[in-house]
Amino acid sequence: DTGVSQNPRHKITKRGQNVTFRCDPISEHNRLYWYRQTLGQGPEFLTYFQNEAQLEKSRLLSDRFSAERPKGSFSTLEIQRTEQGDSAMYLCASSERTENYGYTFGSGTRLTVV
> Does position 107 bind other proteins by CB under 8 A?
yes
Instruction: In whole angstroms, give the CA distance from residue 99 to residue 96.
Output: 8
Among 77, 88, 93, 113, binds other proteins (CB under 8 A): 93
Q: Please say whether the beta carbons of 55 and 75 come within 8 A.
A: no
Instruction: In whole angstroms, give the CA distance from residue 35 to residue 77.
Output: 10
What CA–CA distances, in Å, run from 105 to 37, 52, 89, 113?
13, 19, 12, 23
- Residue 39 burial by Cβ neighbours in a 10 Å radius (0-12, 13-18, 19+): exposed
> Does position 68 bind other proteins by CB under 8 A?
no
Complex with other proteins: residue 17 or 51, whichever CB lies closer: 51
Among 39, 42, 63, 70, binds other proteins (CB under 8 A): 42
> Does position 21 bind other proteins by CB under 8 A?
no
Q: How far is the CB of 81 from other proteins (least distance, A)?
A: 26
Q: Which residues bind other proteins (CB under 8 A)?
A: 4, 31, 33, 35, 40-45, 48, 50, 55-56, 91, 93, 99, 102-108
